[in-house]
Amino acid sequence: MKLDKSLVESIKSNGIVKITLDIGEAIIDSNLEDGILKDIPFIGSIINLNKGFLSIQDRIFSKKMISFLYQLRDIPEDKRINAIQKIEDSKEERIKAGEKIIYLIDKADDHIKAEFIGILFSEYVSENLSYEEFKKCSEIINKTYLDDLKWFLKSDYVRLTMEEASDLIPSGLFDMPYTITIENAESRYNDSPYVIEGYNKVEINPYAEKMRLFLKNRIVT
């Protein structure tokens, strides 16, 4: 079975409710030849493709994927199935659900970012996020340095100066600056307002604001 299809089966399957937090460490510590991991379609496919031998990269990727899947454990099977089917049936989506998720998780630096992406996907499945919002938020997560991401999620800032946000603009957390202008009486009289005082600030990206809404209380310090 292709990896993208086996991932979809893993998302749909009730087998993901068996996943525990300890499984992530088990991927690093065990040879994955036996046990519950092989019962997860996606992980089982990786094991079969490699004939029981996994490289370090495979193990790290598997840990990230399990961190993603774990976030879906409390969502009813019918909701997971319907959410996936909605993506698969969409004429606007040129990339299938499994393939897109694999792409996003592969780009994640570590299993913590994969966990965040999993939380956002669970919000999509629960119909609190659109699929487009899920994708946009996930891309921002992958572009942001983890410590900066944690700081942003725990903060309440919606505007920062250019200097304060210099590392946060490229990742998409904040949009490029706007200018605040103040008109004086003369400019208003001449019907040609001009800036007598101005300074540049950046404002939170709408997708990043959504991301903070769902992840703020899920950050482990």
* Residue extents of the structural domains in the chain: 3-143, 149-209
Count other Cβ atoms within 10 Å, centred on residue 182: 10
Phi, psi of 178 (to 5 degrees): -115, 165
Q: What is the pLDDT of residue 34?
A: 47
Q: What is the pLDDT of residues 85-142, one digit of tens each?
A: 999 999 888 889 999 999 999 999 999 999 999 999 999 999 999 999 999 999 999 9
CA 131, 142, 175, 158 torsion-angle sign: positive
Cβ–Cβ < 8 Å for 146, 110: yes
Q: What is the pLDDT of residue 192?
A: 46
pTM of this structure: 0.82
Alpha-carbon gap, residue 77 to 33, rounded angstroms? 27
Q: What is the pLDDT of residue 188?
A: 45
Q: What is the crossing angle of helices 111-125 and 206-215, to 10°?
A: 100
Q: What is the pLDDT of residue 44?
A: 72
Q: What is the pLDDT of residue 173?
A: 96
Residues in the chain where the model's pLDDT stays below 70: 1, 15-39, 47, 50-54, 177-199, 220-221
